[in-house]
Structure 1
Amino acid sequence: MQVIPELRHALQSHSSAVLIAQPGAGKTTVTPLELLNESWLAGQKMIMLEPRRLAARAAAAQMAKALGESTGQTVGYRVRMDTKAGPNTRIEVVTEGVLTRMLQHDQALEGVGLIIFDEFHERSLHADLGLALALQSQALLRPDLKILIMSATLEAEPVCRLLRDAPLLECPGNVFPVETFYKSKPLSASLEDFTAEAVEQALHAHEGDVLVFLPGAREIHRTERELVSRNLPAQVKVIPLYGSMKLEQQDEAIRPSALGSRKVVLATSIAESSLTIAGITVVIDSGLSRESVFSARTGMSRLTTVRVSKASADQRRGRAGRLQPGVCYRLWSAQEHAALPEASRPEIVAADLAPLALELAAWGVREPAELAWLDTPPEAAYRQATGLLRQLGCLCSAADGTAGGITAHGREVSALGAHPRLGHMLLRAAALGLAPTASRLAALLQERDPFRAHGGTDLRPRLDALREAAHARSTHSLLREADDTVIRRIVQESRQLLASLSQAAAAEDEPDGSAACGLLLAFAYPDRIAQGRGDGRFLLSSGRGARLRQVEWMSRSSYLVAAEVDDEGADGVIQLAAPVELHELLDHCREWLQEQAHVYWDSSASAVRARKVLQLGSLVLKEASYERPPAEEIAAALMQGVRERGLKLLSWNRQTLQLQARLIFMHFSAPEDWPDSSDAALLDSLESWLLPFALGAKNVSDLQRLDGSGLLLGRLDWEQRQQLEQEAPTHIRVPSGSRLPVDYSNPEAPVLAVRLQELFGMKNTPRIGRGRVPLVLHLLSPAQRPVQVTSDLSSFWNEAYFEVKKDLKGRYPKHYWPDDPLEATATHRAKPKR
């Protein structure tokens, strides 16, 4: 590469550097070899992080070949379940969590002089975490440690700033021109049919091999079947390429085609970068990829198919121009291309952060802000992750004063290298003598399910099949339909997990270990323990609903544990699960059980209920009556009943209701001096005026026996009680001598209903409320029917009385109707006594 001299100088004078090199420049396989003998490296080794296992193995093989050696000598690799490295290895290509494990084992990384992060634009969670840890190690322990970031499409400026203004070097690649065609898919066509049609067109129009990008293995196999059905020329071979295939099959996709033959490689984004597939001159890009999206709200992840970014599309197109001019068919329109995002979303903003949170705790960090990040982990997802880790016993809780610190159990889980859920399950299983079954289960859950097409929802038959495979038997029906490569990898991974539990010598297998599958899942997924609600519907302990996709025998299970749930819609769809018995939860999950006493208002019975319940999250496992609940809790439940039913539940008599109306009138007249006694205000303040007197009440009948008037008067002081009698009297004495009740139903206009004859001699309307509020007089006939409504009695006598008199005198001739009502004697009889 032309930029190597500048890169040597940059790393000689700086602790970090950023290299942007176009595809074909040789950054992956040339850069490490060119830096191997630098004086600042001082004979130490370099670690290069690759985002994919296939690329890591291929890069190591190509560098070893350049040195005339075999892999594992000067150049080696370490990937999950596969290592080729020796004591003399100077360049180690690693992937996944290997770099993180190395840093956790030795935070100073003694003996390592350079860490290279290749294809950093992919922004995997491991790459972001590894860089954050490496930067802190460099700052605190190893100022001589060098860090190099490499990519073809990375936005370099933010990375340079993160690396304390590291120098940026750019190198053009040996990329040949690639002609690009846009080919928009009709809505009526399936992706597989349209892709196969594009492949046929490309094979007829162009020379060389074809690389097709599809979102996942499912689409790859469907497209493969479609191409086979189209009777392609005999010299054309269709080869799938995705991460879970055998090494030999992956190598076949990378090797040059035999003379006179052509190949069509159907690949996922695994072939997007770092790999040079010999012979490729045509790229057909579906524009889709598969990614896992985590929901902090539900604590679940789901695979979703998304549009690629412009940067990814350019990476894919570049595969056609690595060795000679090529063409690229994009199966979308130019207008759609303009709307694509510039770069892919970093995994850290959409991933399950439980593994990252545990790694940080093991590192000694309690908050992500203590490290330097290109994108800080989202707060909600990180809090959800630490909550799960506390539930699993991996982090200390706030109760012991060391909130966020890693526990001894958490260190054991971290050392296993599995997801914290599975690590916790493995350790709990080992204590119960179930390590072999748990190891197989953990290995299965870490892989793409090889039995998905025929295995149904129940995990137990899968474990039985894996147990047979581990003993070199293949009679189980599921094994006949599964991918042998994936099965072998799961068996190998399960053995490594078993060895990591220091139980490799446990040759004896559990005779019926799969029967414990539900319990083992409960250890890993306490938030997905589910209680049956009928018809295949379940309530998860997290409070979320879930259902089985179709009716099966597990639909009738009282309890099951969901290992995989598709987080879509109101109820998630359970993909993988196993039943668990109630006694297993009671015996082995005690740390998650809570016994709570509930005293509550039962709306349907209008009564107080008292129950003791044993809960696991949102699930009620057991329920019993609660004898002698505290009086305070009964009273509080009664208050809830009053709030729900209203004050009518108290069955107040007429006297109490009138008192309430008078108090409302006083508040209306002087709101700053008098408490609000409306129904709404009283319901809002039950704890202050009703609750103290309800202590000791056991039911509604006891509540109704309380003196309502006394309760309301209890809210007043002595002076207010005196004023109430004066300013809002219950009755008014009228000239006839009668003492008549005042109706305060309308606080703005209290009413006095009185027979007209009883007011003879009264010149003005009676007033209350310190003389500010005239009563509304309902003047009644001798038959108690209103003949006039007025709040101005004087005007009535002067203007309306004589018309009313004519009418009443005609209808009630025996009654007394004087010409001058102000001089007449009031009476409650037909005529006044003489």
Structure 2
Amino acid sequence: MPAPLPIDAVLPELVAALRAAGRAVLQAPPGAGKTTRVPLALLEAGLTRGRILMLEPRRLAARAAAERMAATLGAEVGGPVGYRIRGEARVGRATRIEVVTEGILTRMLQDDPGLDGVGAILFDEFHERSLNADLGLALVLEVRGALRDDLALLPMSATLDAAPVAALMGGAPVITAEGRAFPVDLVHLDAPLAKGRRPEEAVADLIRRALGETDGGVLAFLPGEAEIRRTAAALGEPGAGVTVHPLFGAMPFGAQRAAIAPAPHGTRKVVLATAIAETSLTIEGIGAVVDAGRARRARFDPRSGMSRLVTERVSRAEATQRAGRAGRLGPGRCYRLWTRGEEGALPAFPPAEIEIADLAPLALELALWGDPDGSALPFLTPPPEGALAEARALLANLGAVDAAGRVTDHGAALAKLPVHPRLGHMLLSAGRDAAPLAALLSERDPLRGAPVDARHRLKALRGDRDVPGEINRGALERIRAEAKRLARLAPQAPSCTPAEAAALAYPDRVGLRRPGDAPRWLLSGGKGAAMEAGDALAGQRLIVATDLDGDAREARIRMALPLAEAELRGLFADRIGWVDVAEWSRRDRRVVARRQERFGALVLDDRVWRDAPPDALARAALEGVRDLGLPWSEAARRLQARAVLWRAEGADVPDLSDAALEAEAEAWLLPFLAGVRTADDIRRLDLVPALEARIGYQNLRRLDAEMPPVFTSPAGRRLPIDYGAEAPEIAARVQEFFGTTEHPCVGPRRLPLRLVLLSPAGRPVQVTTDLPGFWAGSYAEVARDMRARYPRHPWPDAPGLADPTLRPKRRE
């Protein structure tokens, strides 16, 4: 009789809910027993005559869950309980519970949307929000609504916000299992980790502390394999009778099994694990957890078209999952590598994979399903538009979808291969000879510290030990096994070189070396990449970059192959063509006209375009104007200001504001750029004729009449009107306006001119828009002051009756 677990209390309620509604959401804390108890409970209750599928996010978890349930029934795996994972299946005719990795469900749905023989689908650890789980739930919800209303659905999770999932499933009931199997004490740092201290050393110290303060084994969570190795080195020999086991996804299954198995009697073990140990697995004998507080995620940047691995702060939900590992088999303790105060800054949940991942595999599945943009599917989180558009563009580049986004025969064949669409395209096009390269590019680099040339890795795969760098034997064996499997799936095809095969997979990452000494390349997709100066490929003209770090500005090349130009032309003859280019060169600050042979963004041949048409040259010059800015002269600015004010006063004329002129430069300026080729030509360009043409002849005549460029003063002097000020403005000596009793105005609405009245020395003494009011008001005070300063100039008591003058008084 199995030991009781917290999940047992809610199993009758769960079975009843599934019988009544056919769907539910289960919340159960870590250690509650949902992974192994729920499928067996549904089987025992006779909920369905069909098979019960349970999805697991990882292969190790799928195997372990199937083995534990089979042991509970006293049966062998492959009997009533079996599993299917990539490259391996242990199921039989008697199998009623089938544990599968999440991608298996997608293949089943694409092959048989009705899921014949399946009665229930359980999504274990749905809180991880993997791309395949989100897609699988969206697909089965559509299938359930259209074809299989009898299909039972159950997402299960420890830390999931259940309400949105329940709402997506049409108001499915939420069943909650309360309590953890055993309590877990949380221990935080007293102060933040000191700057400069390596986290692995701090984790090693916490492991030693946990060994001294607790009984049983210690499970430490680290972001990746490299950190695991460094922590193991820092830990050294932790004590007598204590063994150290790494645990990460790329390990051989035998080594993974040893890490999760109980320690021999009288000994203790330390397991250094990635997130693979967060969920589903029960690692025997663990009494304490050490959490480094970091998680590694692949984030896709649609701007660069590349994914990069980033190490981020763990979320509170992930930290809760990790702490729960210490309470699986008894009271435990979790040591966290952060302070209690830092905990509030942690995000609540990790991002859903659909929000940050390369969506090319998803886009291919959507096209195969008949919904290329996924708009008809009930996604919990819709795929981001930018990343999905980038993915669909890649599929079109690979010939997997047509112009309308519909899957092609080639795309349907790609979807059946268990690799990224890029590598599937390479396998279908290059055949079995490309299987070793496809397997290599699917795995982590088997050579540590080696140059970027992928040929060294391929030599190592063939058994050659004379290669640079340190060989990772485990990775090498996994790649060899995967290469054999892929070779069985690939068709016969004409032989091609590794570089040609790589170019088929990465047509957007063919690199042409930039001029200069630095090893920098322009990639055919338009991005930039660089490698270390001392690398053997640093002088190569053409390469295929098969692995990049994803930096959006200039990616670092981690693996590449040299490519001959003849190989490039042989592969992509239909994509290489001549393009006539007239453009503005910012570097040379002039118009350049070239005939270029291009592959994507790469210029393979470049010649002078001697007979470039004037219109193309003018358009290139216009780009120069946009680069340098409009060459405003004082006369052009005055004309612009008059037209802008006239329009504001109600005139029906084009908008000559700076923003409008820049936006519509092609319409008004392009005809006046004939012969403009250089930055000096642009600086000498007179904008006045172009602006006058924009205004129009008839409008110009009205403009001159209603918004004249000059005002003739009563003394006969032509004064330029400044229309660029707050109001139209002129400046003149006070004496020029003697005898004026009506304030001068302009425009259809008689806008008063702003008069800046000057002293004989040219200094402002009054600013007014009401000259008669000035004569009648403050003029007397101004005149008194001016008579004392400028006695030789007239300052009559009645300026409105005096004659205007520019002359001083005659000497008596």
Give the CA deviation at 1:254: 1.8
Aligned partners of 1:120 and 1:154 also within 8 Å: yes
SS in structure 1 of the partner of residue 416 of structure 2 = helix
Report the counterpart of residue 619 of structure 1 in structure 2: 602
Report the counterpart of residue 799 of structure 2 in structure 1: none
Structure-2 separation of matches of 1:275 and 1:673: 78
Change (3 A) 1:542 1:790: same
Partner of residue 611 from structure 2, selected from 624, 628, 631:
628
Structure-1 separation of matches of 2:629 and 2:128: 61
Structure 2 gap segments, 5+ residues each: 1-7, 772-778, 794-801, 804-812
SS in structure 1 of the partner of residue 218 of structure 2 = strand
Q: How does 1:379-778 map to 2 (within 5 A)?
A: 379-397=385-403, 403-430=404-431, 435-436=432-433, 438-451=434-447, 453-466=448-461, 468=462, 473-477=463-467, 481-503=470-492, 513-514=497-498, 516=499, 519-533=500-514, 534=516, 535-568=518-551, 570-590=553-573, 592-593=575-576, 595-601=578-584, 608-640=591-623, 691-692=670-671, 712=692, 716-717=696-697
Report the counterpart of residue 13 of structure 1 in structure 2: 20
Give the CA deviation at 1:537: 2.4
Structure-2 separation of matches of 1:634 and 1:668: 34
After superposition, give the CA deviation of every residue in 1:769-817 in whole Å (9 maximum; x if it has no partner).
8999999999x9xxxx99xx9999xx9xx9999x99999xxxxxxxxxx
Change (3 A) 1:219 1:728: closer
Structure-2 separation of matches of 1:710 and 1:284: 73
Change (3 A) 1:744 1:293: same
Aligned partners of 1:713 and 1:721 also within 8 Å: no
Aligned partners of 1:694 and 1:703 also within 8 Å: no
Using the TM superposition, name which of 627-636 and 281-290 deviates more: 627-636
Structure-2 separation of matches of 1:726 and 1:633: 39
Structure-1 separation of matches of 2:702 and 2:72: 106
Report the counterpart of residue 810 of structure 2 in structure 1: none
Question: Normalised by the size of structure 2, how large is the TM-score?
Answer: 0.80
Change (3 A) 1:196 1:730: closer
Give the CA deviation at 1:111: 0.9
After superposition, give the CA deviation of every residue in 1:589-643 in whole Å (9 maximum; x if it has no partner).
3455464322235678776542222334433332223243334323434555667
Structure-1 separation of matches of 2:295 and 2:690: 73
After superposition, give the CA deviation of every residue in 1:564-606 in whole Å (9 maximum; x if it has no partner).
2223473332222223233333332345546432223567877
Give the CA deviation at 1:658: 8.6
Using the TM superposition, name which of 313-322 and 50-59 deviates more: 313-322
Give the CA deviation at 1:498: 1.9
Change (3 A) 1:691 1:805: same
Give the CA deviation at 1:106: 0.9
Question: Normalised by the size of structure 1, how large is the TM-score?
Answer: 0.78
Structure-2 separation of matches of 1:638 and 1:306: 47
Structure-2 separation of matches of 1:281 and 1:106: 45
Structure-2 separation of matches of 1:106 and 1:537: 48
Change (3 A) 1:175 1:697: closer
Report the counterpart of residue 206 of structure 1 in structure 2: 214
After superposition, give the CA deviation of every residue in 1:255-276 in whole Å (9 maximum; x if it has no partner).
2222222211111121122111
Give the CA deviation at 1:370: 0.9
Structure-2 separation of matches of 1:662 and 1:254: 83
SS in structure 2 of the partner of residue 41 of structure 1 = coil
Structure-1 separation of matches of 2:643 and 2:720: 10
Structure-2 separation of matches of 1:663 and 1:5: 82
Of structures 1 and 2, the larger Rg is shown by 1
Change (3 A) 1:532 1:37: same
**Is 1:235 aligned with 2:241?**
yes
Structure-1 separation of matches of 2:276 and 2:682: 74
Change (3 A) 1:313 1:680: closer
SS in structure 2 of the partner of residue 237 of structure 1 = strand
After superposition, give the CA deviation of every residue in 1:688-721 in whole Å (9 maximum; x if it has no partner).
5665577799999999999997995896546965
Give the CA deviation at 1:107: 0.9
Aligned partners of 1:642 and 1:683 also within 8 Å: no
Using the TM superposition, name which of 528-537 and 293-302 deviates more: 528-537
Aligned partners of 2:636 and 2:687 also within 8 Å: no
Give the CA deviation at 1:647: 8.5
Structure-2 separation of matches of 1:645 and 1:174: 67
Change (3 A) 1:328 1:623: same
Partner of residue 111 from structure 2, selected from 80, 83, 105:
105
Q: Partner letter of residue 269 of structure 1?
A: A
Structure-2 separation of matches of 1:710 and 1:343: 59
Give the CA deviation at 1:553: 2.5
Structure 1 gap segments, 5+ residues each: 398-402, 754-758, 808-820, 823-834
Give the CA deviation at 1:679: 11
Q: Partner letter of residue 412 of structure 1?
A: A
Using the TM superposition, name which of 272-281 and 17-26 deviates more: 17-26
Aligned partners of 2:545 and 2:560 also within 8 Å: yes
Using the TM superposition, name which of 670-679 and 373-382 deviates more: 670-679
Structure-2 separation of matches of 1:776 and 1:122: 74
After superposition, give the CA deviation of every residue in 1:185-233 in whole Å (9 maximum; x if it has no partner).
63153222222222222323333222222221111111212222xx433
Q: Partner letter of residue 416 of structure 1?
A: L
After superposition, give the CA deviation of every residue in 1:82-102 in whole Å (9 maximum; x if it has no partner).
222223322211114111111
Report the counterpart of residue 71 of structure 2 in structure 1: 65
After superposition, give the CA deviation of every residue in 1:64-90 in whole Å (9 maximum; x if it has no partner).
222333222222111112222223322
Q: How many corresponding residue pairs?
A: 764
Structure-2 separation of matches of 1:702 and 1:160: 64
Aligned partners of 2:643 and 2:703 also within 8 Å: no
Structure-2 separation of matches of 1:416 and 1:175: 42
After superposition, give the CA deviation of every residue in 1:652-710 in whole Å (9 maximum; x if it has no partner).
9xxxx999979987987897669799997997676556655777999999999999979
Give the CA deviation at 1:362: 0.8
**Is 1:288 aligned with 2:277?**
no
**Is 1:128 aligned with 2:124?**
no
Aligned partners of 2:631 and 2:687 also within 8 Å: no
**Is 1:244 aligned with 2:225?**
no
Change (3 A) 1:710 1:440: closer
Using the TM superposition, name which of 410-419 and 554-563 deviates more: 554-563
Aligned partners of 1:664 and 1:677 also within 8 Å: no
Using the TM superposition, name which of 108-117 and 612-621 deviates more: 612-621
Using the TM superposition, name which of 678-687 and 595-604 deviates more: 678-687
Partner of residue 311 from structure 2, selected from 305, 308, 311:
305
Report the counterpart of residue 812 of structure 1 in structure 2: none
Aligned partners of 2:82 and 2:95 also within 8 Å: yes
Using the TM superposition, name which of 625-634 and 10-19 deviates more: 625-634
Aligned partners of 2:635 and 2:688 also within 8 Å: no
Change (3 A) 1:461 1:323: same
Aligned partners of 2:430 and 2:495 also within 8 Å: no
Change (3 A) 1:620 1:177: same
Using the TM superposition, name which of 84-93 and 51-60 deviates more: 84-93
Q: Partner letter of residue 523 of structure 1?
A: L
Partner of residue 55 from structure 2, selected from 44, 49, 71:
49
Change (3 A) 1:662 1:728: farther
Structure-2 separation of matches of 1:90 and 1:548: 53
Considering only aligned residues, what root-mean-square deviation do their CA atoms show, in Å?
4.7
Partner of residue 266 from structure 1, selected from 272, 278, 285:
272
After superposition, give the CA deviation of every residue in 1:135-163 in whole Å (9 maximum; x if it has no partner).
11111111121112222333222222222
Report the counterpart of residue 225 of structure 1 in structure 2: 233
